Structure formats: C-alpha cells, structure tokens
Chains A and B, each alone.
Chain A
C-alpha cells in the first residue's frame, strides 16, 4: 500500500521547496489534450478523431483574496494555467488560488479534457493534501472522474490528473474539490460551471423577439436571452481560514460563516465590474476575477445562472423591482416528464448548497436604473463585523 511513513516524511518536508524552486519542470505535470503538442492545454493541431475536444488546465493550491472590509483571507482554490507550459504552470500557480475558481464554460457536445495539477500549499508545507474536481450534478457520472476521493482517485502534490467528460447535457452546474470536502470547500475550492445548449445558433422567435442563445434546448425559444451572467452564492468563516493560515486546529464543529459573498466578493465589491485589485499577501496576484454586477440595456432578456456552494447555509436571494422567472433547476429545463411547462414567476429563490436555478429577468418594461439582488437572510447583509454589505449586488439597466 501507499504509505508515507514517518521515516521519510522529514526528508520529504526538507526537499519540498526544491521540488518547486530548484526543479520546477516536474515530470509529473502531465497535461492530456488531443491535438496539443507542447503540454499547455491549447490545441495546436486539431485531432480529427476529437473534433469537439476542449481542454483546460487548472492548478489546485492556496492563495489570498481581499474581503469587502479589507481583510486579506487565506484560501485554497483553483487557478487557470491553460496556455502555460508545464514548467511555467507550476511556478505561476503557486499561491495563486482564485475565488471563485475559474469559471468552466462549455458547449453541449464538447469532449472536455480537464487537467488538474496539484501545486501544493505554499503557506502550509506541513500539508500533503490531495485535490480533486467534482463536477457537481454531472449526469451519468463515472466514479473515476467524479472526484470523490473515497470512491475515486485524488491527485497528490506535484502531479496531474486529467478528467474526461463527454458533455451531453446543458445547464447550470458547479464544481469543487471533494477531498476533505468540509475543509477544502470552506477554504474556497468552489467555482461556476455551465454548459450552453446545442440549440444555440438556431434562431427562435419568442414573444415577438428572435433569440439565438438559450439556457436550454427548449424547442420554442422560451429560455432565449440577450446577455447571461453566472453568480455563485457562498460564504466564509474567517476563524476557520485564519486557523488554517496559522497552522492551528480547524474549528469544524463551530464553523460559522460571517462573510457572505456573490462570486467571491461581498457588497460593495460585488458591483465592481472588473477584477478586484490583487491582495498583498499572495505576491500581487489578481485572484478575484469574476464580477457579480449584472448590466443590460433596457428591453433585453437577462439569463442569470445562479448556484449556491458553501458549507453551512441555505440562502435566499431576492430581486427588487424586476421579477424572476425560473426556467431551470439543477441543470434541467423546468418541465415535467411529459413536457408540461413548470416555469414560474417569483421574487426570490432559496437554495441550499449544491443547488442551482436558471433565472430570466425580462427588462421590457423596466425603467433604467439600479435594481438590487440581495439575500433576505438579512443578517448576511454584512461583511463580518462591518454592518452593511455582504450578499447583495445590482442589476443595472441602461
């Protein structure tokens, strides 16, 4: 069996810095991507046997983000190292975890080769944690690519695992690391993942307007949209993160999230349309790239792919002034087994962790201005001890 004994743990610890610094081009970084010649997960010469291949290279490691009250928070997370050679990827990825993790955007019909390289925790050389990717909700999942370490494979530091997904189903999913899930998910290994339907590109006229982009293969254009956004609800417990950074025992049973977020940021950072400035503690790496601001011109239909991925809470998100029409739930078009339309109008949705909905905002009769999307779990309109903030963002209609 694969046992690391105390006997060579110490030399392993001492050797760890050299693994990355002295010899960064590790033979164990191994990207698999049909048509990619140099191992950067970019297709150089399309492979005729895999015309729909799509590749991505994610690193798993640690890093920092800046909370809306200014606190720099230690996290675990993924970073996108697609386009980098294996050697470059290994160096670039150190301490560069993102929150949320890089969005994975796919098309129905893709053959998705997703390489995960575990670059280790720079601030926690005592940890030898493996990582995985769990595509939450993948239909007909195969255990080997499902990322549950007790039923599958988890990749250790300095090595790569390529996941293979034949992408057959459109919808709003999510992904996360499943190793010691309570810890690695609280620490931030969470991301948006959605699949665009095969119907995209085929024009459908719905309620007098023609659309070529849809949430699902609806057959009638009723999920058609002009602009789309993906937002993940989540939250962090600062004491847990601080304990992790300080190599202290982790307060699992006492976990209490006090930083509610939309795409890894609390209000008012949520309405910044760009990446947030890099924190100082990770060496100046931009780690919060996904905005949670929604903007559209009046009259446009907005698709919001909303998911909740956190360890502790159910969250309700409410819309003030623009009704929500729910057209999808858990990556399925909201229709009954015989096709009965089950779309519904509401002003709020409540999601537990690991649930998603697809929301259409029709701005046909909406006066231009700012509209708020906010949690009605009102104590979460805060950034830890800072009273006003948290899980809130704006829909700006121009």
Chain B
C-alpha cells in the first residue's frame, strides 16, 4: 500500500541528509579571520524572496560590496583586534562591541557613545576611525553601530563577532576553552527584522520622518536572508549583498554548535525541530558554577527565547535514537554508518503511510493561483 510516491519523497529526504556527508568543508561559520580588519560603511540594496529590493546601510569588507549582515569577524582569544572603519554614508557611523572591554577608539570625530567616522561630506581624514580591543573571552558576540543605533542598526549596520578560544584546534574545535564545548559543525543564526518603511524614508532622505513609535517589521531574517533564500548557497550571485545562508547540516551523532544572536529589536522564540539543544553559554560566557568547571549550569531546551542584543551558544545533537524503527532507511543487511543508532537497525517503519493522492505538498499547491488566499 505504500506508494512509490511516498517512497520517492522519503528517498529525497534521505538524499538531502546524504548530501550532508559531502559537506565537511562547511564545518565552520563563514567570515573573515585575523586580527586586523578594514570595514567600509556604505549603502546598497538587498533582495527579499517576494521580489522586493530594500535600501540598506551596511559594513563592507574593505573595498568589497555592502553586505547584510556585516562580515562575520572571526578572531582568536587573547589577540589584539584592530578594526579600521571608513565611511561612505551621508551620516557619521561607528562600531561598538558589546561584551568587549577596554575598547579604544582613535581618529575620526567625537561621538556620543564612541568616536565616529564622519559623513561622506566631511574631510577625508575625519571619515576613518580605528577601534582596538583585546579579545579576552571566547564566545559569540554582536557588533553594531553606536551612532543613532535606533536607526542605523535597523538600516543594517551590524554583524557577528566570534572569538575562538585559546588553543583552538580547527580539526577538533571547541566553542570555549573546555572539552564539554566541543562540536563538529557550527552555524550562525543572526535574527533580525526589517521595517521597509524606515528604509524607504532613509532612501529618500527623509530621516526626520522616521517614527519609531510606528515601527512595523514586515521581514524577518536569518543571517540577512528570509526563507527560502536562507536555503540557497552562500555567496549566491543573485544575492550579492547577502553572502551568508542558513542551512545547518550534520551527520547523525554529530554535535552542531548553534550561535544564536538577537540582532533586531523584537524577541523571538527560536524553535529548533528534531531534538533538544544544550544551552552552554550566553553573552559569550560559559554557564558554569566556577571558572574551569565547564558548562555545568547548562540546560536543554527545545526553544531558545532570543532576546534583543543577547547571544546564546547551544549544542544540538541528533541520531534518531530509540525511535523504534530504522530512520536511515536501512535494510537489515545494510552496513551501519558512523554515529547511527544501532539497535533499530533494519526495523521497518511501524505504520502504513498514506498514498500519494492523499498527501499535500503545500509549497506546490500554494503556487497555484487558485489556492492563494
């Protein structure tokens, strides 16, 4: 009674899982590494899946394209980090680094929260500011503009900062300097939302008409893209200003480190299907009872309440253990892959699945105009 249609569909799912095996090279979050960075604040446009184009301000890597979010800065604990920011925007901009201490700012012009890079109309010498700090703690952090943050962060001037722990070994990585923070894959989940009205007003130089009491987001993004664009490859040429995707992949039994950042102004209950995740750190600090204890105060959750400005590190694992049937689709004689749960090997699925005619695939039906609501 199990139709070919369902079998094909399941095979596709297994194929997608199978593709994961070939993706080992994507074990680490994409970004720019080192201790010295050149960022340029500039304007450009991003694309949304509904065909819209939204004017943005963002940080570019050197002379590269404006990108949303800004380049993910990946640095090593203990290093002195220097970031030189140049400004090509009509307003002064800056960068602040929540969670970092002892940040010094030189050059540019004085600002309210930190020194700023002056607007594009200012003398060239004033349009560059340099920030320096020592990355004393490993972890996941946010960086964003410290100039008119209520406007400029919305406009796109934000990014992620990842500090690798002392002694980091890329072939055996840990999130912090403790073996209980080991992982096989890491993924960034930078949650933001966009109110297109604000961007339009800025585009037409009507900054004074921006009304935050009327804030009304209409796009919600992971790493600068809305679904289904999140599923496209990184550096997709159709999305030149949104280089990062969000398509976590792993093998059964692997540990996947989720670095979740609340980059916007709303709270989001961020639910991951499949299994619980162990929250090991918040705001770049291990949840430990005493220094060196490791994440002994970690808790397992199925929903991460992502709070504006907060970062959460969680380790997700899944191997399909004890489902009562062989989720990998093995026949009894098939070999077991590493990390798979052995006791259910070769056991058939315990129910008869419906025939294809009784199953809906909404994404397909939704595209038929007759079904649009």
Contact = CB atoms under 8 A, between A and B. Distances in A.
Interface of A: 1-4, 6, 9, 28, 30, 32, 111, 113, 127-130, 134, 136-137, 139-144, 146, 148-151, 153-156, 158-164, 166, 168, 179-180, 183, 249-250, 253, 314, 329-332, 334, 336-338, 340, 342, 350-355
A149 B273 contact: no
Interface of B: 5-6, 9-10, 13, 180, 216, 218, 267-269, 271, 273-276, 278, 289, 295-303, 305, 318-325, 327, 349-354, 356-366, 368, 370-371, 373
Contacts of B320: 140, 142
A106 to B, nearest CB: 14
Contact of A352 (B269, B319, B324): B269
A150 B373 CA distance: 19
Nearest to B288: A336
**Binding site secondary structure of chain A:** loop
B202 to A, nearest CB: 21
A1 B367 CA distance: 14
Contacts, number: 164
Contacts of B298: 336-337
Contact of B360 (A136, A155, A164): A155
Given A141-B273, A332-B276, A353-B269, 10 more contacts: A128-B365, A139-B276, A140-B318, A140-B321, A153-B353, A330-B300, A336-B296, A340-B297, A352-B303, A354-B271
Contact of B359 (A129, A153, A166, A332): A153
A160 B301 CA distance: 31
Contact of B358 (A111, A136, A141, A155): A155
A130 B362 contact: yes
B303 A111 contact: no
10 contacts: A9-B370, A30-B352, A149-B363, A151-B13, A156-B358, A159-B354, A161-B353, A162-B352, A253-B216, A330-B276
A159 B5 CA distance: 16
Given A111-B324, A146-B273, A155-B360, A330 B301 contact: yes
Contacts of A128: 360, 365, 371
B359 A168 contact: no
Contacts of A340: 289, 296-297
A379 B303 CA distance: 25
Contacts of A144: 10, 13, 349, 353
Contacts of B363: 149-150
Contact of B303 (A156, A160, A355): A355
Given A149-B360, A340-B289, A140 B322 contact: yes
A385 B216 CA distance: 23
Contact of A336 (B5, B297, B302, B354): B297
Given A155-B354, A354-B303, A6 B13 contact: no
A110 to B, nearest CB: 11
Contacts of A179: 360, 362
B317 to A, nearest CB: 9
A161 B354 contact: yes
A212 B9 CA distance: 46
B364 to A, nearest CB: 7
A164 B357 contact: no
Contacts of A180: 362, 366
Given A142-B323, A148-B273, A153 B354 contact: yes
Best-buried of B350, B352, B356 by chain A (most CB within 10 Å): B350
Nearest to A254: B216
A251 to B, nearest CB: 11
Looking at B319, B359, B363, which has the most chain A CB atoms within 10 Å of its CB?
A: B359
A155 B359 contact: yes
Contacts of B180: 337
Contacts of A330: 276, 300-303
A162 to B, nearest CB: 5
